[in-house]
Structure 1
Amino acid sequence: MQTRLRSALSALALFCTTSLALAAPATQVLGKDFEFPNTLEGMPARLSDVKGLQIKHFETSDSVNLSYWEAGSGKPLVIIPGWSASGAEFINVIHLLGQHYHVYVLDPRNQGLSERVEHGMHIARYAMDVKEFGAHLGLKSAYYLGWSMGASVIWSYIDLFGGKDIRKAVFVDEPVSIYSHADWSEQERLEAGGMTTSPERMIAAFTGSAPVNGLIADTRLFERYVAMDSPYYENSEKFVAAFAKSDPRHLSLILFDHIMSDWRDVVRNKIHMPVAIFTGDYSANVPSQRWMQSVITDASLYIYSKEEQGDHFLMFKNPIKFTRDLCEFLDR
């Protein structure tokens, strides 16, 4: 009897310890607080000001430990970051959206705080990770937002699993096909958002091992990335630099599959939920985002002006407008 009691108490202690480890405040996981360089009205002055923010993790079916950021309450909103990004980039967005929704931002494998691995480097596997993430959270239905490559992951998710558990979907500035096929007309290239005819050269450019070449569209992506022309963006980028540095080699492993994926058939035929599409006048993706709106039955298109920081990073450079527009769409 005493042996069984000791075993039960030990199991309870282990459960409690594990639960604490899996559900810890962000400052505890990261080891310290962080003070943002710019003090902005309505925004956190330090990391600990982001109410209820926790960093948790779960293990995928192929044994990869993925981290995620969680805050807020209410209807669930799942955010999938773009290539190289993580929940750290979304810190201001999490702070604002967490006042209205139960927000989850998943760090994809090899990104942010998630585990570095050599396997599963396919958009389809990333989509499976999202499927297993939803199962881990016990979600029956949720809003899903994908930024950049994160939109491609959601397209793959819809292709593989359908969209019955997606209440509404949000796609932020992602071409429908990065690779431009040799037999395309210029109109087809614009509608797809084709940017390169050489994935190898584009990978070299994205990972910093070669100059930006092999592109057939002036994306202004790198120019806008380094432009610290928004104090909101400067705050989140400094936070990323402090806690979520990436490894270029591991990041590069997904790029070939990502660049070569053509999602036109999925966008045209399989998206049946309400959709919001965000882009901006700085982006070369505007024609492809207009095409998406034209073929999706219930799609709203938001095009931000240059004055509104309408580039690939519009969520981070103008989080006040973005979250206001997003909430209006989700609550419609």
Structure 2
Amino acid sequence: MRKISRALGAALILGALAGFASAAPAIQVLGRDFSFPNALPGMPQRLSDFPGLQINAFTTNDGVKLSYWEAGKGQPLIFIPGWSANGAQYVNVMYLLAQRYRVIVLDPRNQGLSQKVDFGNRIARHSMDVRELGQHLGLQSAAYVGHSMGAAILWSYIDLFGTAAMSKVAFVDEPISIYAHADWSEQERRDAGGTTTSPERMVAAFTAGGPVNALTTDLKVFERSQRMDSPHYQNSESFAAAFIKNDPVALGRVLFNHTVNDWRDVVRHKINIPAAIFSGEESYNLPSQRWAQSVVPGTLLFSYTSAEQGDHFLMFKNPLKFTQDLSSFLER
């Protein structure tokens, strides 16, 4: 009964938040405290050790209630998570950056604590959601960071709305085109980051446990996501698993559209503000990130070594280095 009451209370709080766009402490929204499995120097041992963390919500112009996580004061810094990801996984990153910035992490539609809907499941609509988040927050300008699919959402945002409301932008390890066209040369495939020639099989592998091989998708993402080789990653993944219940059907709704977009024209022609890219030796995306750096003048590329956890999840596995590098870019 206590579990049911807590769940119902959390649902009621989230509904109130979405309706009235007010703020509530994360521990109140989630319904309980949480103890992280690893006690790490300078990091919270319990959720209650991060008292400034809030979970808020707003309603988009197509009627979808989106949650976002917020902490800190100062210049606004907005994170857009990747496919299937959520604000809970950013708890370490937020804790470190909230000491200097007003940090906001959006739960995209169908992800995290945001509403599950069967409409608007396109990258373009996701970028509109990001625009409406900025308007909801009353931001004239903010720095934006997109991880994985979140980077594609920001490329769509830039394509549709330009960069007037962006001060700086960072992209974390996202292929420029996941779909590898049959008429590309090998160099074109590497530059774009193409990893599949069958979007349908890739979607099935990620959402329904379909058969997977190296021709279907990037197997290293699967392998590295399961490798709990960082105590920070263990903490954030455990926290997310305790409170976020993913719906594979809902998550899958945007994945095909995400897979088949080719953003090379946006990267080549429309990024006209200071930009940074993060990748590493343990990611098959590194060649495409180097291509992106080569076509966007002045872009910084932070390439992490294997010892520095330089894979697709580098920001969660090595949040100390990531937040230091990101801050150095933002303060330039």
1:194 equivalent in structure 2: 194
Q: How far has the Cα of 1:138 moved from its partner?
A: 0.3
Other-structure match for 2:67: 67
Given that residues 201 and 216 in structure 2 are in contact (C-alpha distance below 8 angstroms), is that contact kept between their aligned partners in structure 1? Answer: no
Q: Is the 8 A contact 1:232 1:316 kept in 2?
A: yes
Equivalent residue, structure 2, for 1:83:
83
Quote the residue 2:275 is aligned against.
275
Larger radius of gyration: 1
Query: What residue number does 2:244 align with?
Result: 244
What pairs up with 1:280-291 in 2 under 5 angstroms?
280-291=280-291
What's the counterpart of residue 164 of structure 1? Answer: 164
Deviations 1:96-146 (A, max 9, x none): 010110000000000000000000000000000000000000000000000
CA RMSD of aligned residues (A): 1.6
Q: CA–CA distance in 2 between the matches of 1:86 and 1:313?
A: 13
In the alignment, the residues of structure 1 paired with residue 267 and residue 20 of structure 2 have an alpha-carbon distance, to the nearest angstrom, of 41
SS in 2 for 1:24: coil
2:93 match: 93
> What TM-score does the superposition give when structure 2 sets the normalisation length?
0.93
Aligned to 1:231: 231
TM-score by length of 1: 0.93
Distance 2:46 2:122 in 1: 36
CA distance in 2, matches of 1:199, 1:20: 39
Q: Deviations over 1:199-241 (max 9, x none)?
A: 0110011114213236367541111000001000000000011
* 1:256–1:19 CA distance, 2 compared to 1 (3 A): closer
Residue 88 of structure 1 aligns to a residue in which SS?
Answer: helix
What's the CA shift string for 1:142-162, capped at 9, x where partnerless?
A: 000000000000000000000
TM superposition shift of 1:33: 0.7
Q: Mean alpha-carbon deviation: is it higher for 57-66 or for 44-53?
A: 44-53
Any idea what SS the aligned residue of 1:34 has?
coil
**What is the deviation of 1:20?**
8.5
- Supply the distance in 1 between the matched residues of 2:39 and 2:208 (Cα, whole angstroms): 32
| Aligned 8 A contact 1:197 1:214 in 2 | no
- Percent identity over paired residues: 63
* Match in the other structure for 1:3: none
8 Å contact kept, 1:202–1:213: no
- Structure 1 position 150 matched with structure 2 position 141: no
Whether the 8 Å CA contact 2:111–2:246 is kept in 1: the answer is yes
C-alpha separation in 1, matches of 2:17 and 2:142? 29
For residue 130 of structure 2, what is the aligned residue in structure 1?
A: 130
Q: Which runs of 5+ in 1 are unaligned?
A: 1-15
Letter in 1 for 2:221: L
2:112 corresponds in structure 1 to 112
Rounded to whole Å, the distance in 2 between the matches of 1:27 and 1:254 is: 30
Q: Distance in 2 between matches of 1:18 and 1:203?
A: 30
Shift in alpha-carbon separation, 1:18–1:147, aligned structure 2, 3 A: closer
Q: Distance in 2 between matches of 1:321 and 1:305?
A: 12
Partner amino acid for 1:106? L
- What whole-Å deviation, never above 9, does each CA across 1:41-79 have from its counterpart, x for those lacking one? 011101111241100000000000000000000000010
